[in-house]
A and B are shown apart, each in its own frame.
Chain A
Amino acid sequence: MVAEIGHYALILALIVSLLQSTVPLIGAHRQDRAAMLFGSYAAITQFAFVSLAFACLTQAFVTSDFSVAVVAANSHTLKPMLYKVSGVWGNHEGSMLLWVFILAIFGAAVAAFGRNLPETLKANTLAVQSMISLGFLAFILFTSNPFARLDPAPLDGNGLNPILQDPGLAFHPPFLYLGYVGFSIAFSFSAAALIEGKVDASWARWVRPWVLAAWCFLTIGITLGSAWAYYTLGWGGWWFWDPVENASFMPWLAGTALLHSALVVERRNALVSWTILLGIFTFTLSLIGTFLVRSGVLTSVHAFATDPARGVFILLLIVAATGGSLILYAIRMPGLKSGSPFSIVSREAGLTLNNVILTVACATVFLGTFYPLIVDLMGRDKISVGPPYYNMTFVPIMIPLLIAMSVGPMLKWKRDTLREALDKLKPAAIAAGVALLVVLGITFGKNIAAGLAIALAAWLVVGSLINLGMRLRIGQVPLGTSLGLARTTPRSFFGLVLAHAGMGLTVLGIAGMSAWATETIQMVRPGGTISLSGYDLKFASVNNVPGPNYDAERAVFNVTRNGRFVTVLETERRFYPVREQQTTVAGIRTNLLSNIYVVIGEPDKKGAWQVRLYYHPLVPWIWLGALIMALGGFVSLSDRRFRVGAPARQKTGATLAPAE
């Protein structure tokens, strides 16, 4: 019964989305207020119906209703409750429902919180947003109905893929989707602006918070995914340039560019048509990511149930959405105002450089992801593009960006001199030089690459701190005055400092991991000891331990350093009988500066076990830095300029536009 309610709710949502994608559009065209207002009510109604459907599917999973096909294929009565819930989106049908759910959340949020938007822009935005919903609701109902029944119902389910039964992964998809799908709003705003044929500074101010929110969620989602891959796949790697990882990384790169170019539109009314294009392309990359994962055109470790028919449907959706909006762009663009000029050294120029580099980097990842496909289409060769390609292309492209990242925020709008900005950054340059010398000193000049990378990290972190210090005039005025300045400084400034410093910390982690990670693989008997980078691990015991839905062999290691006790590490090999699948759980000890990482493999006949041991210096900062970046985004998002004073600002925006 509950499943039928869910199915029915989805059908109603489809009907509402059809109305929402047409009525407000016509209303905006005819200046009919009632029809435009209808868009807001429809968005909230659509949200209500999709929520109901999502709740129904969750209920089916929680109560293990195996008469629902998706539940039977992906759940099991013995599974812990957390994974019963996360099982909702641990499969194709459910995850598409999550997709639509988040689309509806964002649509309803614009309807509810976008009170300051001009009526026509809001109506057009909601209509475009609903066209996307319409496409995906149709996709779900016609090709992947999550509420399909099984008759007779099996006594128990198939279980969730054990590799997905992990707390990190339980929350990875919702965050990723909040990011991915959140960019739909940027798309809808861009398309709406094109429909109206009018883009100005206020448009950028309205779209920026949505882009920022989506970007923060995507950052967290990617971070969770990377951390999950690190501790469950048991290879000790944190990024594999896997097509599916790239699928989430490309929208992140484009979204980061969008975030910065929208700033230029907001402040200086320049880069207007470029920003519109980025808005369209960022979401297109999200859609292409979805296409990649669902259609099975590329092989990946993230093997989702793939089906070419679904691929065709998603591809048609992409063609309709992106193709349609780009044709609209081609028609409207010549009429859009081109921006005001700026000097080659200015804040605008810095942000433009950011956009150029991020776009090229994104194109590089795109090419690397699709190159195997292109080669395959042209000839018969099967190739795979791996980390060496990205090390040779992506990394060198990003280095100038990282160097410029400290300089950009120092530049004034309109016109500035490079010398003045660089003068301010002297302490950062000194910090970078010291970091390089220290690294070269410790390693006897061997690790130049790592030294340079850590110098870059110091440059970013210290550069951000200098920016903060200058803004608050620390050291120049009494502390009380600085605190007063801190109170009046907009939050978005602190967001900038946090995000840029966070990037520096991530670079630090990557540098440490790439230069000094060590590993060893040995056959060890219980009682034996292995040593790595100053740590001694005594293999204390190995036992069979039953879990809720698996059997595990748990190995216990006592870790000492120079004879002093450090910690006890446990690592498990779990066998899930329902799926006949095995997973490993790494034993990890972190002190925020480095990780010790141990995994057991197969035993041999003589009672020895294969033990892999890794020492990973600085690796936690890869994720902590990324989370600090996301935190910076949220801090910026809490800036009151995004929330209040909108009507007054609307006016300034309108007067600004013709002035330039």
Chain B
Amino acid sequence: MSKLSAFAPVMLFATIAAALGLSLTNDPHKMPSMLIDKPAPKFELAAVDGTPKPLSSDALKGEVMLLNVYASWCPGCRLEHPTLMKIANQKIIPLYGINWKDKPGQGGAWLKQHNNPYLAVGDDPTGRTGIDMGVTGVPETFVIDKGGRIRYRHAGPVTDDVWQDVFEPLLASLRKSP
């Protein structure tokens, strides 16, 4: 056999290794949202049972705030709940919620059981608003700036670590900018 073909396996492997190396710079959890830097879509949602206020997209401007999408059936939401409560209790940032694809009553019952961290929670039983927002699963958290534009979308639970590593630096920079 020729000398060249002897080097074929090592060339093939070098290509694979290079691709694997490049892949390390890649984060599969990062899903860019189409809505980044665009105004949040319009919606009017009724209040979740047992919560004081309905939620309208008009309320989502004027200051940097969070919009968290949760459901009673979602384990990740239970995981992030203590962090959300901390944010609410220490008044770190205004926090709004959307209850996504829940059966009637369950979203409210869940908040009663675990406490309600949200200033207002809209009920989205059909997931219609979720589609407009580009929600792919719960929990998801959007960062909205003073102008009412979506600046960041986080898929997955917001734990204390995520809060420190991702949200705190982001919020600090957003608050500085006009």
Contact = CB atoms under 8 A, between A and B. Distances in A.
Interface of A: 277, 280-281, 284, 288, 291, 295-299, 308, 311-312, 315, 318-319, 322-323, 326-327, 329-331, 333-334, 338, 370, 372-374, 376-377, 380, 382, 580-582, 602, 604-605
Contacts of A581: 75
B13 A338 contact: no
Contacts of B31: 382
Among B14, B19, B24: residue with most chain A CB under 10 A = B24
A315 B17 contact: yes
Given A581-B75, A582-B75, A333 B10 contact: no
B32 interface: yes
Interface stretch (B1-9, B62-70, B116-124, B167-175): B1-9
B23 A297 contact: yes
Report, nearest first, the 4 A-B pairs whose CB atoms are least far apart.
Answer: A326-B10, A333-B6, A330-B6, A297-B23
B166 interface: no
B28 A376 contact: yes
Nearest to A284: B13
Contacts, number: 77
Contacts of B1: 333-334, 338
Given A296-B28, A323-B13, A326-B13, A580 B79 contact: yes
Given A277-B9, A330-B7, A334-B6, A377 B26 contact: yes
B27 to A, nearest CB: 8
Contacts of B24: 295, 297, 308, 311-312, 315
Interface in B44-68: none
Nearest to A311: B24
Interface in B130-178: none
Contacts of B29: 299
Contact of B26 (A319, A329, A376): A376
14 contacts: A298-B28, A299-B28, A315-B24, A318-B17, A323-B14, A333-B6, A334-B1, A334-B2, A334-B3, A334-B6, A370-B19, A372-B28, A376-B26, A377-B26
Contact of B73 (A280, A323, A330, A602): A602
Given A323-B13, A338-B1, A605-B105, A315 B26 contact: no
B151 to A, nearest CB: 19
Among A280, A297, A380, A605: residue with most chain B CB under 10 A = A297
Interface residues of B, number: 28
Contacts of B22: 377
Nearest to B109: A605
Given A315-B17, A319-B17, A329 B9 contact: yes
Contacts of B6: 329-331, 333-334
Contacts of B20: 288, 291, 297, 315, 318
Nearest to A370: B19
Contacts of A382: 28, 31
Contacts of B2: 334
Contacts of B7: 330
A373 B24 CA distance: 10
Interface of B: 1-3, 6-7, 9-10, 13-14, 17, 19-24, 26-29, 31-32, 73, 75, 78-79, 103, 105
B32 A330 contact: no
A329 B6 CA distance: 7
Contacts of B75: 580-582
B144 to A, nearest CB: 23
Contact of A322 (B13, B26, B27, B79): B13
Contacts of B3: 330, 334
Given A580-B78, A605-B105, A330 B9 contact: yes
Contacts of B103: 604
Nearest to A319: B17
Nearest to A295: B24
Contact of B19 (A295, A377, A604): A377
Contacts of B73: 602
Contacts of A312: 24
A208 B26 CA distance: 39
A334 B75 CA distance: 59
A254 to B, nearest CB: 13
Given A330-B3, A330-B6, A373-B26, 15 more contacts: A280-B9, A284-B13, A288-B20, A297-B20, A297-B26, A311-B24, A318-B20, A326-B9, A326-B10, A327-B10, A330-B9, A330-B10, A331-B6, A333-B6, A580-B75
A24 B28 CA distance: 44
A331 B6 CA distance: 7
Nearest to B17: A319
Contacts of A291: 20
